[in-house]
Amino acid sequence: MSDSHEANWDRLGEFVTQTMEEKGVPGVAVGILHQGEMASAGFGVTSVDNPLPVTDETLFQIGSITKTFTGTALMRLADMGKLDLEATVRTYVPDFKVSDETAASQATIRHLLTHMGGWVGDLFEDTGAGDDALGKYVANMADLDQLAPLGTVWSYNNSGFSLAGYVIETVTGRSYQAALKELVLEPLDLGHSYFDPGDVMIHRFVVGHKAGDEGAEVARPWPLPRAAYSGGGITCDVRDLLRYARFHLGDGRTEDGTRLLSPGSMTHMQTPQVTVWGDETWGLSWAVDQVDGVRQVSHGGGTTGQVSLLALIPEHDFAIAILTNSDAGGAVTQAVSDWALAHCLGLEVTQPAPIEASEAELRLYVGRYSRPFADIELGMLGGRLVGQLTWKGGFPSQDTPPPPPPPPMSVALCEKDRLLVMDGPFKDATAEIVRKPDGSIGWLRASGRIHVRKA
């Protein structure tokens, strides 16, 4: 490691330690890959109940970063001529159904990879640990409501990636885990990436944490349902995640020079396919946006009490992976990523700021916005816009009781049709007002999910 990189790495470690202590996060692993040089380290402990030091070989759940692995597997199958991104899902799963027949019959593999299905995306259902888990899950999608017409509005969709995993099973004739191991994990030499708890438990691994009355406490349950594996099931160490990032910074060849994906497929995955908002776009399973005028390719992950982030800056041959074992870990992943981009690459991450808006302008957004998992009510109080979130279901299953609602939050405009939370547990989060073709308000998108305007 060069002297400049080593100095930045030492300062980053100090910043990580300070930030995790401020946010009450028990354990963090961080890794950086820059111009071929890799550095990684662990901080804190695996569990407040049974503490072991976190190292760069400690296993964390990476949650939805797994979706990019699923996308990589699908692109391999496409390169092999076994799958067509433009083919309908029913080409591979003839009995696929959601409540809207148009969406069910016309949805393509591309719609799944770009979160453009439009149906309810949060179906957290444990369909067992058997080889039929994904098949049962997909059958249970038949009653999912259509929140927006297929292909019209971006809305983060977990169920679409469980469906994508089932497509992989039908195309390969193997379980999702076995297929992913053959298509992605083994060729990239990712020997510390696992799905099943039985494989994880023989290594050092973290448990998730949530905020308790006396600080962080262990969050339960630890395992994810097998039907969620293709959307968020990988458990790995930070070094494996950096090796995976190294591949996606390349041209589709593995470290030994073997061609895994075509250059065209690599480019396609990281090229904007749909616009989310402004410079925020989505490629094929990757988020693609701009940081200080430079392209960033990234994905986050969240499970029960674990939050992670993998971000790539291809122009600088740079990647950072941050793994945490707390539901407060998002504050750490964001702060550490911003620090690294600033100090390692000189990129300034700008944060949204409130703008002046009249009471009449704010009143246009008043209403109730609903999806099966949560409702958001926007109202006026003393000339200000105030929001109230009400959970209607829990995680990781439909039977999990919903958490108590957070306190009402003050909301401001940060640009036209974009809202900024000013206080409370979601402070600095943004939400978008999404309009219909006629200009009327159709949805409020918060946490990446669309909520249908009801009143």
| pLDDT tens digits for range 207-241 | 999 998 889 999 999 999 999 999 999 999 999 99
- Residue 402's pLDDT band (boundaries 50, 70, 90)? confident
What confidence score (pLDDT) does residue 4 get? 64
pLDDT for residue 3 is more than 70: no
Alpha helices (H) in 295-413, listed in sequence order = 329-345, 359-363
Average pLDDT, the chain: 96
Residue position matching structure tokens 């029960």: 304
Other CB atoms within 10 A of residue 165 CB: 31
Task: Give tens-digit pLDDT for 322-365.
Answer: 999 999 999 999 999 999 999 999 999 999 999 999 999 999 99
Q: How far is CA 265 from the centre of its chain?
A: 21
Rg (Cα) of the chain, in Å, rounded? 21
What's the CA gap between 125 and 121, in Å, rounded?
A: 12
The pLDDT assigned to 1 comes to: 54
**Cα 418 from Cα 219, distance rounded (Å):** 33
pLDDT at 396 over 90: no
- Judged on CB neighbours under 10 Å (0-12, 13-18, 19+), 54 is buried
pLDDT score at 2: 60
Q: For tokens 């433009």, name the residue.
A: 86
Can you give the pLDDT at residue 213? Answer: 86
DSSP state of 376: E
3-state secondary structure of 443: strand
What local confidence, expressed as pLDDT, does residue 397 receive?
A: 67
**Model confidence over 116-136: pLDDT tens digits?**
999 999 999 999 999 999 999
Share of the chain above pLDDT 70, in %: 98
- The pTM (predicted TM-score) of the whole model is 0.96
What would the pLDDT profile of 430-445 be if each residue is shown by its tens digit? 999 999 999 999 999 9
User: pLDDT for 256-313, tens place per residue?
Assistant: 999 999 999 999 999 999 999 999 999 999 999 999 999 999 999 999 999 999 999 9
Q: In whole angstroms, what is the distance from residue 447 CA to residue 415 CA?
A: 17
- Roughly what angle, to the nearest 10 degrees, separates helices 66-79 and 158-172? 40
Would you state the torsion angle of the CA atoms of residues 400, 404, 408, 410, taken in this order, to the nearest 10 degrees? -50
Q: Are 318 and 242 in contact (CB under 8 A)?
A: no
